[in-house]
Amino acid sequence: MSDQSYDPTAVEAKWQARWAERHTNEPDLDNAERPFYNLMMYPYPSAEGLHVGNFYAFTGADVHGRFRRLQGYDVFEPMGYDAFGIHSENYALKVGINPAELIPRNIANFRRQLKALGAMFDWRHELSTTDPSYYRWTQWIFLKLFEAGQAYKKKAAVNWCPTDKTVLANEQVIAGACERCGTMVEQRFLEQWFFRITDYADRLLANLDDPSKMDWSPSTSSAQRNWIGRSDGAHVDFATHTGPIRVFTTRPDTLFGATFMVLAPEHPLVDALTAPAEKAQVEAYRLAAAKQDIVSRKIGDKEKTGVFTGGHAINPATGESVQVWIADYVLMEYGTGAIMAVPGHDERDFAFARKYKLPIVRVLASADEDGSTPLEEAAPDVEGGHLVNSGPFSGMPEAQGFAEIVSWLEREGKGKGVAQYRLHDWCISRQRYWGPPIPIIYCTDCGAVPVPEKDLPVLLPALEDFRPDDSGVSPLARSTEWYNVPCPKCGKPAHRETDVSDTFLDSAWYHLRYLSTEFADRPFDPHRVKKWLPVATYIGGNEHAVLHLLYARFVCMVLHDQGYLPFDEPYRKFRAHGIIVKDGAKMSKSRGNVVVPDQYIARWGADTFRMYLMFLGPFEEGGDFRDEGLAGPRRFLDKVWDLVEQCERQTLMGVELRHEIVVKWHQTKKKVTTGLESLSYNTAIAALMELMNALRASNCAAREIVKDVIVMLAPFAPHFAEECWERLGRETSVFEAKWPTWDEGLTLELRIDVPVQVNGKTRGKITVQRGAKEDDVVAAALRDEAVRRFIDGQRIKKRVWVQDRLLNLVVG
RNA sequence: GCCCGAGUGGCGGAAUGGCAGACGCAGCGGACUCAAAAUCCGCCGGGGGGCGACCCCCGUGCGAGUUCGACUCUCGCCUCGGGCACCA
């Protein structure tokens, strides 16, 4: 290869073939000594192929995996396909081809692209969620959750997308519209399977703050906290003639200011409370509220409306009778579906009270007030506030009032302190075709019977017509020979559940399956689980912060509690990568600025493309993709190529190293290592470029330095590094090499240019030996003409000497 | 409204409280060439001064503060990106 210029196409083809032949990227899963599970989010195999965002994420994760490999870990880096789900099915509907036919084609294209990237995927463990050998175990997981009492069926108001003709999880509804097609969702009532993720709300929250279990990007943890949405407050019972109405409040300290109550229109006590005279208007209001979709109900800034039921309740604190209203700003699905209205200290209640002329009482006042002045607007936060008009609690600071009213309620049996969560149970039913059938059989005698494990998988029947319809029943019901089965318990005629499960159930456990894809008789092998899990590093997009990542944690916890897993958090370290934009704008088909990776790889080579992606900005922040930018990394690789050639020609005598070069070399090893550790790939690459420039400037092609450059380059440009390694006369893969270490002492220069400041402004510079004494430096500084000019005979009041860094003289 | 990020040259971006602008792109000037590309060398935040090696002033979204010293820390704002939101 000598004397030839760098030809990425040839180099990449050669090394990809060798890696496959030599099984370079296939760790021994049973006997690995230092297992390191490097996971990235698997893609859904679209017809368009992988886009640059996928390549960015995968490259960043692969760089990390290759770095760990070079540090001596046995790295397992698998890849697969999230091929079930609405996205795949909708596309199949659009082109009129069964997804079972379409998906393998898309996967073949994805595999081709993934191989071109040159990542260290272990192809022996590739998986697709649509393989019966995979979804058999997805169904098994459903059964385990069912056994644990974590799966249940209920009729519920659900988000129905009229375009996709299916139920959507709350997480899939964005601003009232289907996240996929943008259609406004409607409210429907259907029998659905749910998982009791709310049982785990506190644990899901607590583990986020446990560094021994989780080291996650703050943005991701924060998104999960918001999503779980814990509020601390109290349940309070208000007595009525038909029994108590229970409310949830986060402000028990304002209990004395509760001058009326509001129930959600659907609240079960409304009928009993409504006075005959008010019946007509209550019914009309309830009807109007029911017609609204779930979403527009929740739009916050609209005019408050409501009607009086004619009923009354007793405020347990004041003993006074208060009116009970219904209004659609109170939601049945949060808290108890009923509130105590405190108009003095809640904006919504205030607006409502003003509109319907209900009493407003002030129960909080700031330190210098007695609370006698009427409120002009709601005062939810009173700084340094204390309770007023609150009987025996008057005068107490807010926090104390909160605590004492709660304990008073508990003593009196009229309420108790509780936490409330925003999180809802996870609805996993989908009335669609392209998913794993939920393994349940309905029998008129035995009810919902789980399919016995030996009968798994429940195969998805081949359907000619797999279009969803408006009935709310899955297309699977159309296959009668599939639908009708004997009851596994009693043998009488029964029928299958026709819903399939949510795609997020597939992805909630794929990290468990990768390790054990060759085992047909178990979902995951316990020894491998113990050796390799939890995942050491997981890298992916933050769009999955509250969907996939929360569900995967939940499933892991349940499996742990059932004794299947020895840990309860699946991903020890998670890092969210940034987003790539093109020329400052979001990529979109309509804008025509979508970057298709293939053409860049064809033109520049995968290594240059990888380098550029990792160099264009901090990995966790993303960056701006500009075509011109690829030239930089490519020029850099060309220069390294030439340098390697110089080494090849070099005699064995080597090159005498100047101390500055040695320092630069050691500094680079340190910077690249720490940069890779913290995913600061852009600065790691910059450090390599600097070293390169220094070597060229001093015309120094020292073999031992060039060798290190190649090793440090290997995570970013693996094919290129392998080729250079070979040209340097090495016979094994560069990934068998040891990661370079540095000598801390050699990262420090011998002679240092110390800036001399006068009153904080740099006025001169003196060169000193490292370790120079303060007095000597000051003396030298005072000989400097520029420094003297600024001191100008003034007295030095203070001198600040930072060893080997800086001298600051304060005068005046 | 609440919660997480972020704001630095023409552009992407660097800077454990210690010389702001590393590295790269683009641009400009020069070398090589019949010419162009590639490559190599040099310049490259703004303003001002000096024939010149150089020198001075200003400058990291805005305003205060802490400090010998602030892109970095504190407080108060503004803008952008993301999450949550009639959530009681």
> Of all protein residues, which has its CA closest to the C1' atom of B86?
A300
C1' of B7 to CA of A624 (Å):
16
Of A290, A294, A289, A286, the closest CA to residue A186 belongs to: A294
- Using the structure block, give the residue that is written with the tokens 């293939």: A598
HEC states along A445-476?
Answer: CCEEEECCHHHCCCCCCCCCCCCCCCCCCCHH
The CA-based diameter of chain A, rounded to the nearest angstrom, is: 107
Of A746, A576, A742, the closest CA to residue A671 belongs to: A742
Per-residue model confidence (pLDDT) at position A178: 72
Gap between the Cα atoms of A377 and A387, Å rounded? 18
Adjacent-strand bridge partners of A598 = none
Report residue A646's pLDDT band, with 50, 70 and 90 as the boundaries. Answer: confident
Gap between the Cα atoms of A479 and A463, Å rounded? 7
ipTM of the complex: 0.95
Nearest-nucleotide field for A295 (CA, C1'): B86
Residue A447: is its pLDDT beyond 50? yes
Per-residue model confidence (pLDDT) at position A592: 77
Per-residue model confidence (pLDDT) at position A651: 55
Residue A582: is its pLDDT beyond 90? no
Report residue A811's pLDDT band, with 50, 70 and 90 as the boundaries. Answer: confident
Adjacent-strand bridge partners of A157 = A189
Per-residue model confidence (pLDDT) at position A191: 87
Q: What is the mean pLDDT of residues A81-95?
A: 86
> Of all protein residues, which has its CA closest to the C1' atom of B18?
A806
Which positions in strand B are less than 7 Å from the protein's CB atoms? 2-6, 11-16, 18-20, 22-26, 39-41, 55-57, 68-70, 81-88
How many beta carbons lie within 10 A of that of residue A510, not counting itself?
A: 22
Over residues A98-150, the pLDDT tens digits come to 999 999 999 999 999 999 999 999 999 999 999 999 999 999 999 999 999 99
C1' of B61 to CA of A325 (Å):
49
Return the DSSP state at A437. Answer: B
Over residues A327-357, the pLDDT tens digits come to 999 988 889 999 999 999 998 899 999 999 9
C1' of B30 to CA of A635 (Å):
21
Per-residue model confidence (pLDDT) at position A146: 97
Per-residue model confidence (pLDDT) at position A720: 97
Pull the structure tokens for residue A539: 């890298």
Per-residue model confidence (pLDDT) at position A593: 81
Pull the structure tokens for residue A167: 């139920």
Nearest-nucleotide field for A170 (CA, C1'): B84
Nearest-nucleotide field for A173 (CA, C1'): B84
Per-residue model confidence (pLDDT) at position A650: 65
- Using the structure block, give the residue that is written with the tokens 């097609």: A181
C1' of B20 to CA of A385 (Å):
46
Residues 6+ away with beta carbon under 8 Å from A457: A132, A135, A136, A139, A436
Nearest-nucleotide field for A807 (CA, C1'): B18
Nearest-nucleotide field for A632 (CA, C1'): B24
Report residue A653's pLDDT band, with 50, 70 and 90 as the boundaries. Answer: low
Residue A175: is its pLDDT beyond 70? no
Gap between the Cα atoms of A806 and A766, Å rounded? 10
C1' of B45 to CA of A42 (Å):
44
Gap between the Cα atoms of A643 and A654, Å rounded? 14
> Of all protein residues, which has its CA closest to the C1' atom of B85?
A300
Nearest-nucleotide field for A332 (CA, C1'): B87
Per-residue model confidence (pLDDT) at position A377: 79
C1' of B29 to CA of A697 (Å):
21
Nearest-nucleotide field for A629 (CA, C1'): B25
Chain mean position to CA A526: 27
Nearest-nucleotide field for A687 (CA, C1'): B23
Residues 6+ away with beta carbon under 8 Å from A381: none
C1' of B69 to CA of A808 (Å):
8
C1' of B26 to CA of A616 (Å):
15
Taking CA atoms, A743 is separated from A668, A740, A768, in Å, by 11, 10, 22
Residue A766: is its pLDDT beyond 50? yes
Residue A557: is its pLDDT beyond 70? yes
Report residue A780's pLDDT band, with 50, 70 and 90 as the boundaries. Answer: confident
Adjacent-strand bridge partners of A416 = A235
> Of all protein residues, which has its CA closest to the C1' atom of B56?
A763
Q: What is the mean pLDDT of residues A78-97?
A: 88
Residue A715: is its pLDDT beyond 50? yes
C1' of B46 to CA of A690 (Å):
28
Q: What is the mean pLDDT of residues A264-289?
A: 92
Adjacent-strand bridge partners of A441 = A449, A496
Over residues A476-507, the pLDDT tens digits come to 888 889 999 999 999 999 999 999 999 999 99
A174-188, A240-254, A321-335: segment of lowest average pLDDT = A174-188
Q: What is the mean pLDDT of residues A274-278?
A: 93
Nearest-nucleotide field for A342 (CA, C1'): B88
C1' of B6 to CA of A141 (Å):
41
Q: What is the mean pLDDT of residues A674-682?
A: 95
Burial A713-733 (b: 16+ CB within 10 A, else e): bbbbbbbbbbbbbbbeeeeeb
Gap between the Cα atoms of A221 and A228, Å rounded? 11
Report residue A632's pLDDT band, with 50, 70 and 90 as the boundaries. Answer: very high
Gap between the Cα atoms of A132 and A281, Å rounded? 56
Pseudo-torsion of CA A306, A308, A314, A318, nearest 10°? 70
Per-residue model confidence (pLDDT) at position A1: 40
Say if residue A615 is exposed, middle or buried (CB neighbours under 10 Å; 0-12, 13-18, 19+). Answer: buried
Nearest-nucleotide field for A625 (CA, C1'): B12
Gap between the Cα atoms of A405 and A401, Å rounded? 6
More confident residue, A177 or A580: A580
Nearest-nucleotide field for A627 (CA, C1'): B25
Per-residue model confidence (pLDDT) at position A633: 96
A634, A655 in Cβ contact below 8 A?
A: no
Over residues A20-76, the pLDDT tens digits come to 999 999 999 999 999 999 999 999 998 889 999 999 999 999 999 999 999 999 999
Per-residue model confidence (pLDDT) at position A176: 65
> Of all protein residues, which has its CA closest to the C1' atom of B38?
A635
C1' of B45 to CA of A721 (Å):
37
- Mean pLDDT score of chain A, rounded to an integer? 90
Report residue A386's pLDDT band, with 50, 70 and 90 as the boundaries. Answer: confident
Per-residue model confidence (pLDDT) at position A2: 45
Q: What is the mean pLDDT of residues A289-293?
A: 71
Helix/strand/coil for A796: strand
- Straight-line distance from the first to the last Cα atom of chain A, in angstroms, rounded to the nearest whole number: 68
Chain mean position to CA A584: 24
The pTM assigned to this predicted structure is 0.92
C1' of B85 to CA of A102 (Å):
40
Among the residues of A452-547, which ranges form H helices?
480-483, 503-506, 510-514, 526-532
C1' of B36 to CA of A638 (Å):
22
C1' of B11 to CA of A787 (Å):
37
More confident residue, A177 or A101: A101
Per-residue model confidence (pLDDT) at position A515: 97
